[in-house]
Each structure stands twice: as structure tokens, then as C-alpha cells.
Copies of this chain bind each other. A is one copy, B any other.
Amino acid sequence: MSGFGDLAHIGHVELLTPEPERSLRFFLDAIGLEEESRDGQSVFLRGWGEYQRYSVKLTEAPEPGLGHVAIRVRSAEALERRVSMIDRSGRGGGWIDGDTGHGPAYRFTDPDGHPFELYYETERYEPPEHLRPTLRNQPQRYTGRGAGAKRLDHVNLLCRDVAACRAFATDVLGYRHYEGIVLDDGSEAGAWLSATIAAHELIYTQDHHRARGRLHHLAFWVDTREECLRAGDIFVDAGIRIEFAPSRHAVARGFFVYVIEPGGNRVEVTTGGYFVYDPDHPAVVWTEAERERGQYWGNATVATFHTYGTPPIEGVDD
């Protein structure tokens, strides 16, 4: 059984930052998220189009990187099924009571050691008066501040063994494998996974430094390519370091702009791509030679895009 259908989506990601104040300003002013609440060293942030209370838990930490990825499942039964499968895989970590905005969560790690949580019970967002939308089918007022991010879109995790992580994601979690890269030596260099018709929600790419548990990037959705370009313009004048200027990916065909937030994590503003309506979609697997051809319009990939991750590796990424 493929198990497809148990996962709803990535509910939120906990992001670690050694520069909590500056990272917060970045997400509020440049990405355009709203602060929903605070708890200890964490601030909970949300995009205007999100039905849950938040999608980013920004937590102060000595180093940047991933705190955890929390996936919401489709039902209580789906949660049970997945927990039992994770348990059997030997990667289970036990239950926690919940966190701000959601109920009991089951902790586990992927084969690379990235912390994950699975949960079902959640709180729907109730906007305060100043963020109440005009139309009821929109969870929050659209303010258009900064990049105007609508919602968290996907997470890209660096890992030592893409094949192992990809197999865990498909076989144990129930993700579908839509695109991939296989090098000439037969090793997998990347895997694009999704729980829905969206072309990717969870991505694994090979860690150039063979480190474990690192984060490649977190991506936020906007509805048009024009908004990605505009985000680039805002970043330039806000003095935010653009790592990879607005352009279009070959893999998954999405539009992007990548920046490094003040805490050191890579953040993408993205749109476009395609929907996978085919329930039997055969994964599109790219060769090493094809990857060499660069991005959609034939332009070269920025070198650091293949090497940098968080936490950075001392003497290499700094």
C-alpha cells in the first residue's frame, strides 16, 4: 500500500537562528509574514493565506538550521497508521503533548537525522480585528507588505543519502516521488516529493559536504512571477543578500528568488511549476549531464547553491 492520502501537508517548520531579532524583522518586513504569537525563545509567524495559526516557528539558537518539520495528516486514523509505520521503521521518537496551535505530535527523524513531527489536531486561525479580511474565503487580510508571502510552500533538506531519505518519505510517510536526479555513478542527488498535486512539498538534495541534518532552504509561495521579481527588487533595496537572482528552475519548472536571511538560512520566494494530476505519474529522473545544462532558460546555477547549507560548515561555508 502506497499510503498516499494520509498526509495533508507540511504544517510548519521550526527554523533556528542565532540572530533572532534580525531574522524576525526579515520575515516580517521582507517576506511579509505576520507575528501570530510568542513562546519562550520562539516567535510564531504566518503567511496571509494560511488556515492554521502559523507556518514558521522561529527559534533562537546558537546556529542557524532546521528545528523540525511538522507534517499535518488528514485524520486521526491517518495519524495512527503513519505512527505505526514509523515505529516499525525504527525511526520513531515518541509523543509530545503538542505545541502552540496544535495537538499531540509524534516525533521521529528521517534517515539523515532531520527532526520531524506528525500531528492532526490543529487550531484554525482567527484574525485579530486589524487583520480581518473583507472576504470570508480568505483567512487573513492581504496587506502586501514586503514579498507578500501567501504561505509556506516547501522545504528542501540536505542529506548524505538521498535514496534512503526518499525511500523513507515514500514508503513510510506516504509521499509521492515526482522528480529526481541520478548521477552517472548511480547515486541520487535529489528527490522532489509531494503529498498532493503540488509539484513538490519536501525536497531532499545531496549535502555537498556529506554532513547530516542540514537545511537547504525554506520556500514561501506567491501567486505570480511578477511577485517574485518584485520581491527581488525589495530585497535589493532592503540590503538583503540575494544569492540566486529571480529565475526559473529546470527541475519542477518553478520560478524562484533565493536570499540568505540574517540568521544565515536560505529562504526562497517561489511560484509557478505544475500540478501532478496523474495518479500514476512516473518520476522524471534527470541525468548528471542534464543537470549541467543549468536552469530552465539555460542559465548557470550559482555555485553556492550546490554547497551552502545551515548550519554552515566551519571553514567551508563561512
A298 touches B236 (CB 8 A): yes
A253 touches B137 (CB 8 A): yes
Which partner residue on chain B sits nearest A124 by CB separation?
Answer: B278
What is the copy number of this chain in the assembly? 4
B74 touches A279 (CB 8 A): yes
Which partner residue on chain B sits nearest A146 by CB separation?
Answer: B144
Question: Hey, what's the 0/1 contact readout for A241-267 against B, CB within 8 Å counting as 1?
Answer: 110111110111101010000000000
Question: Hey, what's the 0/1 contact readout for A118-140 against B, CB within 8 Å counting as 1?
Answer: 00000010000000011111100
Which residues of the partner chain B approach A144 to less than 8 Å between Cβ atoms?
Answer: 144-146, 230, 233-234
Shortest Cβ gap from A303 to chain B (Å): 10
Which residues of the partner chain B approach A73 to less than 8 Å between Cβ atoms?
Answer: 279
Cα A197 to Cα B223 with chains together (Å): 15
Shortest Cβ gap from A185 to chain B (Å): 21
Which residues of the partner chain B approach A223 to less than 8 Å between Cβ atoms?
Answer: 225, 272
Cα A73 to Cα B226 with chains together (Å): 35
A179 interfacial contact with B, CB 8 Å:
yes
A62 interfacial contact with B, CB 8 Å:
no
Which residues of the partner chain B approach A138 to less than 8 Å between Cβ atoms?
Answer: 253, 274
B253 touches A135 (CB 8 A): yes
Shortest Cβ gap from A125 to chain B (Å): 11
Cα A232 to Cα B298 with chains together (Å): 10
Shortest Cβ gap from A178 to chain B (Å): 8
Shortest Cβ gap from A189 to chain B (Å): 16
The one of B49, B137, B196, B197 in contact with A179, judged by C-beta atoms closer than 8 angstroms, is B137
Most buried by B among A136, A197, A275: A275
Which residues of the partner chain B approach A242 to less than 8 Å between Cβ atoms?
Answer: 297-299
Which residues of the partner chain B approach A253 to less than 8 Å between Cβ atoms?
Answer: 135, 137-138
Which partner residue on chain B sits nearest A141 by CB separation?
Answer: B237
Using A143-B237, A144-B146, A242-B298 as known contacts, list a sample of 16 further A-B pairs with CB atoms less than 8 Å apart, ordered by residue number in A: A4-B5, A8-B278, A49-B274, A51-B281, A73-B279, A133-B237, A137-B253, A138-B253, A144-B233, A144-B234, A196-B277, A197-B197, A223-B225, A232-B248, A236-B296, A236-B298
